[in-house]
């Protein structure tokens, strides 16, 4: 088979055959298709799309490029969650131990942040001693001991996706929904979980800015999961404002611990419990209410075991930034808008995020939001507190926040999305 024939077929709008897809993915992974040829094919896919059978086969080819994990040795069903990412999205931290406390096993492979969106591994690595890199055997040990594990994906998991994603990142083809969906789902299916709940973010702080685009992505991923025999459901959730009050790394860990202790911001608690119920239902567990596991402390017990099993000290003080700066409310009224993207970029510029994958992050940097949209504020009160290791970062962070919040006199706030917008199964 010839790469040029495959490129021409998709360029001209044809549906690729299973043989063409298998050839393209395998040959690119082995290096017999050049980067420029795969770039051309990715652009043709971006422009012309893929049918459901094409996406399913593309995903399967990427799964077959590496290993497929197996959790059959566990004595409980497995279930997992994937978020498309946002600002203040710390949900995995309280969610994984909460679901484990209710009787499921959660083998969660997570990533690092890039740009204005935070990464779960960056947050957890702010805990002294905690390790992100585990072997498959170590993952099984932690799952057996704690019921949940959150770690980095190994190099053997869907290597075709790793290579293709790096290429898409530099060729303007990241936005292709079939390629986004197959990238996410190839790793999740290869991960070996028995059920999957997708949290697809919508709004300024999310990758998908509109509900229509988010719904298309969610429907595509649910179809891939269904076609591969994986019980899959998706929720569209709001990312027009930050999730919770803390945006950063260590500050988000601290807020997650508050949730596990029975407190924390109401939106974080609501989304955590909602996703937990979906994960447990997908795993066939219906006799435990996750809200009870937060209230009685069992979820906190699992958190402590999970962190300890990965080398972390759950009692150790978290890193804190050397410098702080407060953004003060200029008037009295109601906070009518707090833009997730502006807050996310501010946290990034303070040091909580990275511009390149190899960049370090500051564990103590970030933003604390003292008011949520719809709440009353008084002139002179703190709206936001910025945390950074270097005070010279404040000016650029403040530029990102210019126009990111509004205070009005009307007590009713219009235009805010509901926290959970839709459910797709």
> Tokens 């229509």 correspond to what residue?
212
Q: What is the pTM of this model?
A: 0.95
- Considering only the C-alpha atoms of the chain, give the largest distance between any 2 of them, rounded to a whole number of Å: 69
Q: What is the mean pLDDT of residues 1-12?
A: 96
What confidence tier does 302 reach under pLDDT thresholds 50, 70, 90? very high
The reported pLDDT for the residue numbered 356 is 79
The CATH number of 80-154+190-309, from 3.40.1030.10, 3.40.47.10, 3.40.30.10, 1.10.3720.10, is 3.40.1030.10
- With 90 as the cut, is the pLDDT of residue 73 above it? yes
Which residue in 57, 81, 163, 187 is the catalytic one? 187
* 241 catalytically annotated: no
- With 90 as the cut, is the pLDDT of residue 3 above it? yes
The reported pLDDT for the residue numbered 1 is 87
The reported pLDDT for the residue numbered 155 is 86
Which residue in 10, 168, 305, 387 is the catalytic one? 168
Best CA proximity match to 67, nearest among 182, 151, 186: 186
Residues 6+ apart with CB under 8 A from 251: 364, 366, 367, 368, 387
Which residue in 10, 57, 81, 82 is the catalytic one? 82
Which residue in 80, 89, 122, 161 is the catalytic one? 161
* 305 catalytically annotated: no
Domain 323-408 architecture: Alpha-Beta Complex (3.90)
Domain 3-49 architecture: Up-down Bundle (1.20)
- For 246-284, letters b (16+ CB in 10 Å) and e give bbbbbbbbbbbbbbbeeebbebbbebbbbbbbbbbebbe
The reported pLDDT for the residue numbered 367 is 98
3-state secondary structure 72-139: CCCCCCECEEEECCCCCCCCHHHHHHHHHHCCCEEEEEECCCECCECCHHHHHCCCCCCCCCCCHHHH
Residue-wise pLDDT for 20-51, tens only, equals 999 999 999 999 999 999 999 999 999 999 99
Count the neighbouring beta carbons within 10 Å of the beta carbon of residue 322.
12
The reported pLDDT for the residue numbered 115 is 81
The reported pLDDT for the residue numbered 229 is 95
- With 90 as the cut, is the pLDDT of residue 291 above it? yes
* 68 catalytically annotated: no
Q: What is the mean pLDDT of residues 134-147?
A: 97
The reported pLDDT for the residue numbered 127 is 98
* 82 catalytically annotated: yes
The reported pLDDT for the residue numbered 409 is 84
Residue-wise pLDDT for 165-177, tens only, equals 989 988 999 899 9
Dist. CA 218–CA 208, nearest whole Å: 11
The reported pLDDT for the residue numbered 18 is 98
Q: What is the mean pLDDT of residues 257-283?
A: 98
Which residue in 110, 126, 183, 204 is the catalytic one? 183
Q: Cα-Cα-Cα-Cα dihedral of 138, 142, 148, 149, to 10°?
A: -40
Where are the domains positioned within the chain? 3-49, 80-154+190-309, 323-408
What confidence tier does 143 reach under pLDDT thresholds 50, 70, 90? very high
Residue-wise pLDDT for 177-193, tens only, equals 999 999 999 999 999 99
Helices within 261-335 (DSSP H only): 266-282, 290-295, 298-309
* 57 catalytically annotated: no
Residue-wise pLDDT for 210-225, tens only, equals 999 999 999 999 999 9
């Amino acid at each position: 088979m010839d790469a040029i024939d495959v490129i021409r077929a998709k360029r001209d709008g044809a549906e690729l055959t299973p043989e063409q897809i298998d050839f393209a993915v395998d040959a690119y992974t082995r290096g017999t298709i050049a980067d420029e040829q795969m770039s051309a094919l990715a652009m043709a896919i971006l422009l012309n799309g893929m049918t459901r059978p094409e996406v399913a086969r593309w995903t399967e080819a990427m799964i077959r490029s590496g290993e497929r994990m197996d959790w059959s040795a566990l004595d409980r069903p497995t279930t997992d969650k994937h978020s498309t990412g946002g600002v203040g999205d710390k949900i995995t931290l309280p969610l994984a131990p909460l679901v484990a406390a209710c009787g499921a096993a959660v083998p969660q492979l997570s990533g690092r942040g890039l740009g204005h969106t935070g990464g779960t591994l960056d947050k957890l690595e702010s805990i002294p001693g905690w390790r992100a890199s585990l072997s498959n055997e170590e993952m099984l040990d932690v799952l057996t001991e704690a019921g949940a594990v959150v770690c980095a994906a190994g190099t053997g998991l869907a290597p075709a996706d790793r290579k293709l994603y790096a290429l898409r990142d530099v060729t303007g083809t990241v936005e292709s929904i079939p390629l986004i969906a197959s990238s996410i789902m190839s790793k999740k299916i290869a991960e070996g979980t028995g059920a999957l709940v997708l949290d697809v973010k919508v709004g300024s702080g999310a990758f998908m800015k509109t509900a229509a685009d988010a719904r298309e992505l969610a429907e595509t991923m649910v179809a891939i999961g269904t076609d591969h025999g994986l019980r899959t459901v998706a929720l569209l959730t709001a990312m027009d404002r930050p999730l919770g009050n803390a945006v950063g790394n260590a500050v988000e860990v601290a807020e997650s611990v508050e949730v596990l202790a029975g407190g924390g911001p109401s939106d974080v608690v609501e989304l955590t419990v909602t996703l937990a119920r979906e994960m447990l239902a997908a795993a066939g567990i219906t006799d435990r209410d996750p809200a009870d596991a937060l209230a009685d402390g069992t979820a906190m017990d699992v958190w402590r075991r999970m962190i300890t099993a990965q080398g972390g000290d759950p009692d150790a003080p978290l890193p804190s930034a050397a410098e702080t700066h407060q953004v003060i409310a200029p008037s009295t009224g109601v906070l009518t808008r707090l833009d997730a993207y502006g807050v996310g970029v501010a946290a990034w510029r303070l040091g909580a995020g990275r511009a390149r994958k190899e960049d370090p992050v500051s564990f103590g940097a970030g933003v604390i939001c003292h008011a949520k949209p719809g709440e009353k504020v008084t002139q002179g009160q703190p709206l936001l507190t910025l945390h950074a290791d270097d005070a010279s970062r404040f000016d650029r962070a403040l530029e990102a926040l210019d126009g990111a919040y509004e205070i009005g006199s009307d007590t009713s706030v219009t235009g805010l999305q509901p926290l959970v917008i839709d459910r797709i199964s």
